[in-house]
Structure 1
Amino acid sequence: MTQSVLQSIAAADLPERGQMLAGGIFVTRYWLNDQERALVLMPEEFEGAWGEYGVEIKGASSYSDGEANTHAMAEAGSLIATKALELGAFIPSCLEGQLLMAAKAEGLVTLREDRFHWLSSQFSANLAYCLGFEAGWLTSIGKDVERLVRPVRSLILQ
């Protein structure tokens, strides 16, 4: 069951970057689908394979919209995507992953550097994007490999 979580916030009510918001850490403001949003890094981490190797997931190829990608993954049976959605969160896209990397570089968040993290952006039927937070390496890896996931939330700014 998906948790009921804050969906929007007044821009005037945003804390400073790096402070707590909606159960996580406020990373930054960004634009997605013609809406300004607040990206929130959740504290939970878990591992799992991205999805079924050799199966292209329709609707999971957005470079920017991790929430849409994660919903498409879950509808196709992805356990790791389902786990993220049960937290009331989603797996970040390539764009959202890069925003996390920028926040890490600025000392606003702490992210594990010892393993690559899955992003929800699918590259092909066999590959999905991963980000290494040690130095910001973006690569694609076979979807059947287990990697870490660090879920995020995206709140619409009013």
Structure 2
Amino acid sequence: MTKQAQQTVLAAELPERGQPLAGGVFVTRYWLNGVERALILLADELSGPWGEYGVEIKGAGSYSDGEANTRAMAEAGSVIAIKALEMDGFIPSCLEGQLVMAAKADGLLELREDRWHWLSTQRSANTAYTMDFVDGWLYHDAKLTERLARPVRSLPIQ
């Protein structure tokens, strides 16, 4: 993974939601593991399977921590997870995907609506969660299915 230029963001320097921040678009503020963070949607789009069907990846089941999930996926060989980390981003968790959807519903972001997107939260050895950015449907699909992934970045707020 490359070194991320910006490691934190000052609360007083946060832009309005939907405005540029740290190489992407500021989605919202949220709390993760006791730390307030800024969620940033990156412009890049990845495509591929989530991972290997029938293999449960330990550490990829968090509903809220997409970065931890993505790191576990990458360690298990997931190509889209490795690519997301190389971009200094990660595949959003179910919670982070819902925060992205809320920003889209508020008219702050544009997202592809013609395909389902992978989330990093694993549901079982066979499936992982996906999200439809038309209506915000959260579902699950076979890990070997080719889907889009829209990486995000998360910075601690000071």
TM > 0.5 fold call: yes
Q: Gapped runs of 5+ residues in structure 1?
A: none
Partners of 1:134 and 1:3 lie apart in 2 by 34
**Alignment match, 1:41:** 41
Runs of 4+ residues deviating >4 angstroms: none
Partners of 1:133 and 1:149 lie apart in 2 by 12
SS in 1 for 2:153: strand
State the Cα deviation string for residues 109-146 of structure 1 (Å, max 9, x = none).
Answer: 00100000000000000000000001111000000001
Partners of 1:82 and 1:3 lie apart in 2 by 15
**Where in structure 2 are the equivalents of 1:6-155 lying within 5 Å?**
6-155=6-155
Q: Percent identity?
A: 70
Partners of 1:156 and 1:114 lie apart in 2 by 32
SS in 2 for 1:4: coil
For normalisation by structure 2, the TM-score amounts to 0.98
1:5 offset after TM fit, Å? 3.2
Q: Gapped runs of 5+ residues in structure 2?
A: none
State the Cα deviation string for residues 40-67 of structure 1 (Å, max 9, x = none).
Answer: 0000002010000000000000000000
Which 10-residue stretch deviates more, 124-133 or 5-14?
5-14
Equivalent residue pairs, number: 158
For normalisation by structure 1, the TM-score amounts to 0.98
Partners of 2:109 and 2:44 lie apart in 1 by 13
Partners of 2:5 and 2:54 lie apart in 1 by 34
- Tell me how large the CA RMSD over aligned residues is: 0.7
